[in-house]
A and B are shown apart, each in its own frame.
Chain A
Amino acid sequence: MKPAILCGVLLAAGAAPILAAGWTDRGEYDLALAIRVEAAPQKQLALLDQWKSRYPHSALRQARRELYLAAYYSLGDRVGMLDTAQEMLTDQRDDLVGAYWGVTLIPGAKNPSRELWDIGEAAANRLLAPLPAGGEWQKEKDSLAWLAHRVLGWIQWQRGNYPAAEAEFATCLAKDPKNAEISAWFGMALADQKSPEKVVPALWLLARAGSLKGEGALPDEQRRQMNGLAERIYISYHGSTDGLDRLRSESLASAVSPADFRIESAAAVAARKADEELRRTNPQLATWMSIRKQLEGPDGDKYFAETLRPAPLPKLKGSVIRCAPERKPTEVGLGLSGGSAEEVVLMVHPALPFAAVTGTEIEFEGMADSYSRGPFRLTVKVDKEKITGWPQKPAPHRR
């Protein structure tokens, strides 16, 4: 084989450099020096391309990639930077420069893929592992860990692994509570789950992301975006923007929502308003609904024993469902909520003179005696004199 051909084969195979300091030959050094002299990043890139095509397997290829990164950085070419970082990590999985730029650039990558997320995750874990002993690395240790949690949160969010994303974002906020970008991502990851219990903390975070100003704040355009999103979710959940301004100002107080923080859902608002309306238009029914709700609640027995039983019931209204016995009834079944179900049984003393027809509306006052949950029934002892609306005479017999 001729020497010239042999030389070519060796170069192509990535043979050991001929010169010291990793240079393959003088031509490679000339190219690097030309890049140094060139001020325009576009022209630097053209020269780097020449270097890459003439010395693809150069021992200095990772250094060359760092020069690519610098040139792309100067041009604001995010895609070029990320491609280069990816190339560095593919070539050398624990390359720290590639890992640093990978974790910096992966959030918001234009065409993300599972492969890219895997690379990002590995890069983040590399930054969380022990770093070189050099001063610069140790000085940046905390900020690198933060950056790693940021990208891990982003990746887990994109993968739909919400608990992991939440944990990563919470770690980031614990270290940098005024970082509106993380608040926004965290809020969006929570809202993404579309479960009612996540909506309230999501709203807190989104409102905060849109309200934070100064260091750590989002750019104006994104603040507007987050405020718009917070408003939409708030209206969807609460039914109107009432209270949203208060949420925005309160959210500035802490990075995440306090444990006791609540926002009334639209359904709760509607129920509350309906309840208020009922109290205004039919206070007796409203009172009964409240009594029944508490009796059916988890503390129903306590409520019955401590509140309801010791004192006389307020005057209530119901419609007769049954009377027993037919003659001189001492037991009257009533429906109070408007349905056909018997909710209250009046134990009347002395007996009523005759039965009333089904549907007859009466008012009564008495003392609660007992109650059962299934089927629901409240038994009340009533003095005959405390019943009003009982017919004056028996209903005529049907022919």
Chain B
Amino acid sequence: MPKRMPILLLLFLVCLIPAAASAQEEGKRIALIFGNNAYSVSPLQNAVNDARAIEKALRDAGFKTILRENANKTAMEEATAEFLQQLGPDDTALFFYAGHGIQIENENFLVPVDFEPASSVIQAKFRCFSMALLFDALKNRPKRSIVILDACRSNPMAKENALESGLAQPQNVGKETYIAFSTGPRQVAADNPNGRNSWFSEALADMIAQPALTIEEVMTRVRARVTNETEGRQTPWSQSSLTTKFYFHAPLNANAENDPTMAEKWMEEARRREQREEWDQAIDLVNRVLQRKPGGTLEELAAADLPYMVARRDAQKRYDASDFSAAAELFNKALDLDPFSIEAAFRGVDSYLLNDGLPEAVRLLHAIRVRGTSAAIEKANTMLKELAPVFPEAGQELNAGVPDPPPIEQLFRGLHFGVPDFDAGRRYLQSSPVELSRQTKELGAAFPPPATVVAVTPDAVAEEHNPLAADNGFRVEVIPTAATRDLAIRRVADSGQPQEFGFVKLVGAEAQVPVIFNGKAIAQQLPVNLQLPIGQYEIRLIREGQITAQQTVDVTANGVNVITVKP
């Protein structure tokens, strides 16, 4: 096996590679994600799941991802080198780590899975992955860096090694960097042993997936959710030196404050809240939509959703208070408002059964069989079977068979199949201007700045030698004919009478082209406007000593001759 290059050296070499090598106009998004569970001492349960969830969310957000699970120190450093190597100056780099982290002498270190208890602080440092080194490597490399550490978990390793728990506030961080910790510096985060993911990573993956949120908005929401879910025991922390907004999923219009699609985003968020049965928040969002009066389908949808959500919220409250009679009526009302809310129907069935309302429960089970999924129908059938011995109508319902599902048009509220959502189209046109950068650039190039006016003096006319005659490049030569020369000589000899001039404008793409007047270089760049004594001139285009084109022009008083030069 070939001997490996020391990893620190490799990282150092990567830092030396010019970052411009992979420059792109819009920049790439590249993420390095670690999830470390498999520690010999104090293994974790969720860090790998966290890394996977974040990797998926980032991939969906357009990141190229490098995921490493249960990485030892070598694997962490190799992956980091691979990550850094791919970064260009227009790129966004994201580093996510889930696992144990420690602070040693106010410096943060991530713990690889092969970490062994150290006999000294120095030894412990060398056995860990240094965040300081990572921050240093990220400086001035990508356009922006995002570092997220879910690494502040309760950590017996720290105790064993007489180290402090939690992470230190990062020092010496580069510009355009966003740092987030799952909890505040020197505090300890929970791994959420009863869940698949840590509180922090679960909320983060969820929020990253949402459109039109800046990273700050993502973190604010993550903070609120984690604080709420941990009953205030854990509050995620962040620090930013970003000077521009960063969106995981860009809004339709980067200027979100004036975004005409804001109401749509609130409605989408309301639907997410609805899915999680966070009724108060969902109702609040729908009310905001209605206050904005977006009109059209969106307003119709919000107006239709609001009473349904209120009914669901109230029903749940009554159910939780064991007021099953009221709960049943409210679930029933919710089902009337949204006949496809199978969940409301089942809860209504529960409530009716708890309140001895068998006929009503069977009616709701019928509704489930009309509109529910196969699984819901199966569940309803099982309930009907159980009810049949005590309530014959349940058996009749069961025997009646399952009706065909309703047409798709009934399924999706706010969507009229075969007719586009014209309001959405209008909002789209307002919020998504057509990109014109390419056309603007091309047109701008086609209209160069006006030619510099070069006044050619009679002295130049008299000069005969041609210093650039041997030049092999491309040039333009302006040669006065004999008539002009005679005239100029006569004028020069004259007694101070004003000279009359005309113009020869040499145009073409903006370019470095020497313009030689009678052997003397008078301009180096096109376009140029030559102010010449009136008379006849020959314009020659010369490439490598050969005349490639020539044209005779008569320069009259104040006349303008335009010659297009194609180098």
Residues of A within 8 A of B (CB): 19-23, 26-27, 29-30, 32-34, 36-42, 60, 62-63, 66-67, 70, 73-76, 78, 96-97, 100-101, 104, 107-108, 134, 136-137, 140, 143, 154, 181, 184, 188, 191-192, 194, 218-219, 222, 225-226, 228-229, 232-233, 235-237, 239-240, 266-267, 270-271, 274-275, 278, 281-282, 285, 289, 337-340, 359
Q: A30-B374, A73-B424 are in contact. Are A66 and B447 (CB under 8 A)?
A: no
Q: A27-B374, A96-B418, A274-B501 are in contact. Are A101 and B209 (CB under 8 A)?
A: no
* A108 contacts across to B, CB distance below 8 A: 434-436
Distance between A123 CB and nearest chain B CB, rounded to angstroms: 12
Of chain A, the residue at the smallest CB distance from B212 is A76
Q: When the two chains form their complex, are residues A229 and B275 in contact, meaning their CB atoms are under 8 A apart?
A: no
Of chain B, the residue at the smallest CB distance from A180 is B433
Q: When the two chains form their complex, are residues B447 and A232 in contact, meaning their CB atoms are under 8 A apart?
A: yes
Q: When the two chains form their complex, are residues B443 and A30 in contact, meaning their CB atoms are under 8 A apart?
A: no
> Known contacts A108-B436, A289-B558; can you find 14 more A-B pairs with CB under 8 A?
A30-B373, A32-B411, A39-B268, A39-B271, A66-B415, A108-B434, A154-B434, A219-B433, A232-B444, A232-B449, A235-B450, A236-B447, A285-B498, A337-B557
Q: When the two chains form their complex, are residues B340 and A36 in contact, meaning their CB atoms are under 8 A apart?
A: yes
Of chain B, the residue at the smallest CB distance from A184 is B436
Q: When the two chains form their complex, are residues B446 and A194 in contact, meaning their CB atoms are under 8 A apart?
A: yes
Q: When the two chains form their complex, are residues B404 and A22 in contact, meaning their CB atoms are under 8 A apart?
A: no
Q: When the two chains form their complex, are residues B275 and A39 in contact, meaning their CB atoms are under 8 A apart?
A: yes
Q: When the two chains form their complex, are residues A60 and B422 in contact, meaning their CB atoms are under 8 A apart?
A: no
> What's the Cα separation between A20 and B209 when bound, in Å?
36
Q: When the two chains form their complex, are residues B420 and A97 in contact, meaning their CB atoms are under 8 A apart?
A: yes
Q: Tell me the residues in window 7-25 of chain B with beta carbons closer than 8 Å to chain A beta carbons.
A: none
Of chain B, the residue at the smallest CB distance from A239 is B450
* B373 contacts across to A, CB distance below 8 A: 29-30, 33-34
> What's the Cα separation between A323 and B525 when bound, in Å?
48
Interface string of B426-448 (1 = CB under 8 A from A): 10110011111101100110111
Distance between B251 CB and nearest chain A CB, rounded to angstroms: 6
Of A19, A229, A338, the residue contacting B443 (CB under 8 A) is A229
B212, B447, B490 interface centre (most CB from chain A within 10 Å): B447
* B268 contacts across to A, CB distance below 8 A: 39, 41, 74
* A-B pairs with lowest CB-CB distance, top 9: A108-B434, A21-B407, A39-B271, A236-B447, A29-B405, A76-B252, A20-B404, A100-B420, A39-B272
- Between A and B, 11 residue pairs with Cβ closer than 8 Å are A21-B406, A32-B408, A39-B268, A39-B272, A236-B449, A274-B558, A275-B558, A278-B558, A338-B500, A338-B534, A339-B535
B264 is an interface residue with CB less than 8 A from chain A: yes
> What's the Cα separation between A140 and B420 when bound, in Å?
11
* A181 contacts across to B, CB distance below 8 A: 433-434
* A32 contacts across to B, CB distance below 8 A: 408, 411
Q: When the two chains form their complex, are residues B272 and A229 in contact, meaning their CB atoms are under 8 A apart?
A: no
Of chain A, the residue at the smallest CB distance from B416 is A136
> What's the Cα separation between A30 and B562 when bound, in Å?
73
Q: Tell me the residues in window 507-536 of chain B with beta carbons closer than 8 Å to chain A beta carbons.
A: 529, 534-535
Q: When the two chains form their complex, are residues B450 and A236 in contact, meaning their CB atoms are under 8 A apart?
A: yes
* B407 contacts across to A, CB distance below 8 A: 20-22
* A73 contacts across to B, CB distance below 8 A: 424, 428
Of A33, A34, A134, A222, the residue contacting B433 (CB under 8 A) is A222
Q: When the two chains form their complex, are residues A74 and B264 in contact, meaning their CB atoms are under 8 A apart?
A: yes
Q: When the two chains form their complex, are residues B404 and A23 in contact, meaning their CB atoms are under 8 A apart?
A: yes
Distance between A57 CB and nearest chain B CB, rounded to angstroms: 16
Q: Tell me the residues in window 438-492 of chain B with beta carbons closer than 8 Å to chain A beta carbons.
A: 439-440, 443-444, 446-450, 453, 483, 487, 490-491
* B134 contacts across to A, CB distance below 8 A: none
B386 is an interface residue with CB less than 8 A from chain A: no
A20, A67, A104, A233 interface centre (most CB from chain B within 10 Å): A104
B300 is an interface residue with CB less than 8 A from chain A: no
Q: When the two chains form their complex, are residues A37 and B424 in contact, meaning their CB atoms are under 8 A apart?
A: no
Q: When the two chains form their complex, are residues B433 and A60 in contact, meaning their CB atoms are under 8 A apart?
A: no
B274 is an interface residue with CB less than 8 A from chain A: yes
Of A21, A34, A70, A289, the residue contacting B408 (CB under 8 A) is A21
Q: A32-B411, A42-B209 are in contact. Are A136 and B443 (CB under 8 A)?
A: no
* B429 contacts across to A, CB distance below 8 A: 104
B250 is an interface residue with CB less than 8 A from chain A: yes
* A222 contacts across to B, CB distance below 8 A: 433, 436
Distance between B502 CB and nearest chain A CB, rounded to angstroms: 9
Interface string of B231-273 (1 = CB under 8 A from A): 0000000000000000001111101000000001000100110
> What's the Cα separation between A162 and B404 when bound, in Å?
56
Distance between B434 CB and nearest chain A CB, rounded to angstroms: 3
B209, B437, B491, B500 interface centre (most CB from chain A within 10 Å): B500
> What's the Cα separation between A62 and B409 when bound, in Å?
12
Of chain B, the residue at the smallest CB distance from A194 is B446
B425 is an interface residue with CB less than 8 A from chain A: yes
Q: When the two chains form their complex, are residues A76 and B483 in contact, meaning their CB atoms are under 8 A apart?
A: no
* B340 contacts across to A, CB distance below 8 A: 33, 36
> What's the Cα separation between A239 and B212 when bound, in Å?
45
Of chain A, the residue at the smallest CB distance from B412 is A36
Q: When the two chains form their complex, are residues B374 and A188 in contact, meaning their CB atoms are under 8 A apart?
A: no
Q: When the two chains form their complex, are residues A19 and B415 in contact, meaning their CB atoms are under 8 A apart?
A: no
Q: When the two chains form their complex, are residues B560 and A271 in contact, meaning their CB atoms are under 8 A apart?
A: yes
Distance between B470 CB and nearest chain A CB, rounded to angstroms: 35
Q: When the two chains form their complex, are residues A38 and B275 in contact, meaning their CB atoms are under 8 A apart?
A: yes
> What's the Cα separation between A266 and B407 when bound, in Å?
69
> What's the Cα separation between A33 and B368 when bound, in Å?
12
Q: When the two chains form their complex, are residues B375 and A266 in contact, meaning their CB atoms are under 8 A apart?
A: no
* B331 contacts across to A, CB distance below 8 A: none
Q: When the two chains form their complex, are residues A137 and B450 in contact, meaning their CB atoms are under 8 A apart?
A: no
Distance between A277 CB and nearest chain B CB, rounded to angstroms: 9
* A63 contacts across to B, CB distance below 8 A: 408, 417
B390 is an interface residue with CB less than 8 A from chain A: no
> What's the Cα separation between A219 and B422 when bound, in Å?
21
Q: When the two chains form their complex, are residues A281 and B404 in contact, meaning their CB atoms are under 8 A apart?
A: no
Q: When the two chains form their complex, are residues B443 and A233 in contact, meaning their CB atoms are under 8 A apart?
A: yes
Q: When the two chains form their complex, are residues B272 and A76 in contact, meaning their CB atoms are under 8 A apart?
A: no
> What's the Cα separation between A266 and B408 when bound, in Å?
65
B419 is an interface residue with CB less than 8 A from chain A: yes
B141 is an interface residue with CB less than 8 A from chain A: no
Q: When the two chains form their complex, are residues B404 and A21 in contact, meaning their CB atoms are under 8 A apart?
A: yes
Q: When the two chains form their complex, are residues A229 and B446 in contact, meaning their CB atoms are under 8 A apart?
A: no
B27 is an interface residue with CB less than 8 A from chain A: no
Q: A76-B249, A270-B453 are in contact. Are A23 and B405 (CB under 8 A)?
A: yes
Q: When the two chains form their complex, are residues B558 and A75 in contact, meaning their CB atoms are under 8 A apart?
A: no
B567 is an interface residue with CB less than 8 A from chain A: no
> What's the Cα separation between A339 and B533 when bound, in Å?
11
B60 is an interface residue with CB less than 8 A from chain A: yes
Of chain B, the residue at the smallest CB distance from A20 is B404
B153 is an interface residue with CB less than 8 A from chain A: no
* B434 contacts across to A, CB distance below 8 A: 107-108, 154, 181
> What's the Cα separation between A20 and B252 when bound, in Å?
38
Q: When the two chains form their complex, are residues A104 and B425 in contact, meaning their CB atoms are under 8 A apart?
A: yes
Q: When the two chains form their complex, are residues A137 and B487 in contact, meaning their CB atoms are under 8 A apart?
A: no
* A359 contacts across to B, CB distance below 8 A: 490
B540 is an interface residue with CB less than 8 A from chain A: no
* A33 contacts across to B, CB distance below 8 A: 340, 342, 371-373, 411
